[in-house]
Amino acid sequence: MSIEYAVITPHPPLIIPEIGGRYLKEVSSTVESMAQLGKRMKETSPETLVVVSPHCELFLRYFGIVTQERIEGNFRDFGAPRVRLEFEINLALTQKIISSATESGLPVKEITDVYLDHGAMVPLFYLTRELDYKPKIVLLSFSLLPLEKIYSFGKIIDSVAEGNVVFVASGDMSHRLLPGAPNGYDPMGKVFDQAVAEIVKSGDLKGLLELDPELVERAGECGLRSLVMLAGVMDGKKIRTKVLSYEGPFGVGYLVGEVISVDSEDLESYILNLAKEAVETYIRERRVITPKNVPKELNRKAGAFVTIKRRGELRGCIGTIQGTQPNIAYEIVQNAISSATQDPRFPPIREEELPELEYSVDILNPPEKVTDISQLDPKIYGVIVERGWQRGLLLPDLEGVDTVEEQLRIAALKAGLSLDEIENIYRFTVTRYGKK
């Protein structure tokens, strides 16, 4: 049985409540996203967490892997000695990884008599705090071997995994985002973080191996190799990826995300065919279809936008910020019909146009209030602007919308506002199906 679920986590100790204190509000997006992953763990109920940490004992030409029976640690070095974690090591899986890697020519060093490092403890704190049991862990470091070797090591891990195993890629992005940052300032730090986030969003994780080495060096990061190992774990699988949040208020980038191995083409096909069938049935028969055989991923409430294009040009786009229907499938049906018939910018779609239409669907995650525009990124986040009852929304990652200012201007225009009249700004992420 291969690994079907993996998470991307940062590891700043200040997101631990007992450590961060008043600074927690500065990293609220990261804290909330990590809490989301904790809830996901409760749903997933993993037997084993395979954690790769940049702060586990690191070797130049070897992969390190902990082989002691149990491991513990606390945050004493960060002023919170009472926050303590302890786990049993899954020695059976650990030995299988060692044996398979050795047979494949990938060198491994066993690590003993060590404590949990903060690169492992921070994610484990959030991932296990809602569980009523203790999963076993496998703890390893990634080495400084070429990225292709690290990718291959990820494939080894996946090939020997048994049972319900979740892979945890711990790592921070650039440490050089702002003047005064831990590793100094370099403008390429932001470029690196944006490139990594874009690769994760695209789902083409092998693109991590193609990043410019000079860009990587200038970024001063500690997360790329963890992500490359994750990419190896997911090699050859159909996956869905989601960036839950990204921020860098203290000069270090914190990226939180998840990677799910699913029959994504079937899910995407279901969603796009549902939108298509809803529009065609309504245009031809004036009848609203009832979704059937709804996948479990859609059996919840959420806002959704349906975009319709004809010959590459926008033909309609309408959606909801929050779920108004029994589940997402019903939401898609209603919004597909509205996009086809009620978008005030276009006349209703005619039957003769139906063969030329293309559909895309964006499923929205809950919006969060923004306190500073530095928290926005038009490639990652959509925006909602409002003043009183006036509200305008713009989806993320739209062609031609490359700056925060342009994104806000368009959203404000939709609300009938000028930029100066905006009172509140919210950001949100989406899961997109079909072409943008």
| DSSP per-residue letters across 333-380 | HHHHHHHHHT-TTSPPPPGGGGGGEEEEEEEEPPPEE-SSGGG--TTT
Give strand pairing partners of 402: none
141 and 217 in one domain? yes
Q: What is the dihedral of CA 142, 144, 146, 151, to 10 degrees?
A: 0
Q: List pLDDT tens digits, range 400-424.
A: 899 999 999 999 999 999 999 999 9
Which range has the worst mean pLDDT, 1-10, 103-112, 223-232?
1-10
Residue 241's pLDDT is what?
86
State the average pLDDT over residues 109-115: 96
Q: List pLDDT tens digits, range 193-211.
A: 999 999 998 889 999 999 9
**Domain CATH number, residue 389:** 3.30.1490.150
Q: Judge residue 91's burial from the number of C-beta atoms within 10 Å of its C-beta, 0-12 exposed, 13-18 middle, 19 or more buried.
A: middle
pTM of the predicted structure, to 2 decimals: 0.66
275 and 320 in one domain? yes
State the average pLDDT over residues 349-353: 95
Tokens of 227: 């992500």
Q: Which of 331, 361, 391 is the last residue of a domain?
A: 361
**Domain CATH number, residue 168:** 3.40.830.10
Residue 267's pLDDT is what?
85
234 and 142 in one domain? yes
225 and 178 in one domain? yes
* Cβ contact 331:325 at 8 Å: yes
State the average pLDDT over residues 277-284: 94
**Domain CATH number, residue 276:** 3.30.700.20
283 and 409 in one domain? no
Question: Which residue carries 């949100």 as its tokens?
Answer: 428
Q: What length is written for the chain?
A: 436
Query: Where are the alpha helices (H) located in 45-132, listed in sequence order?
Result: 91-103, 118-128
Percent of the chain at pLDDT exceeding 90: 81
* Cβ contact 57:64 at 8 Å: yes
Domain range for 372 is: 368-433
State the average pLDDT over residues 51-58: 96
233 and 211 in one domain? yes
Q: What is the dihedral of CA 41, 46, 50, 51, to 10 degrees?
A: 20
What is the number of domains present in the chain? 3
80 and 32 in one domain? yes
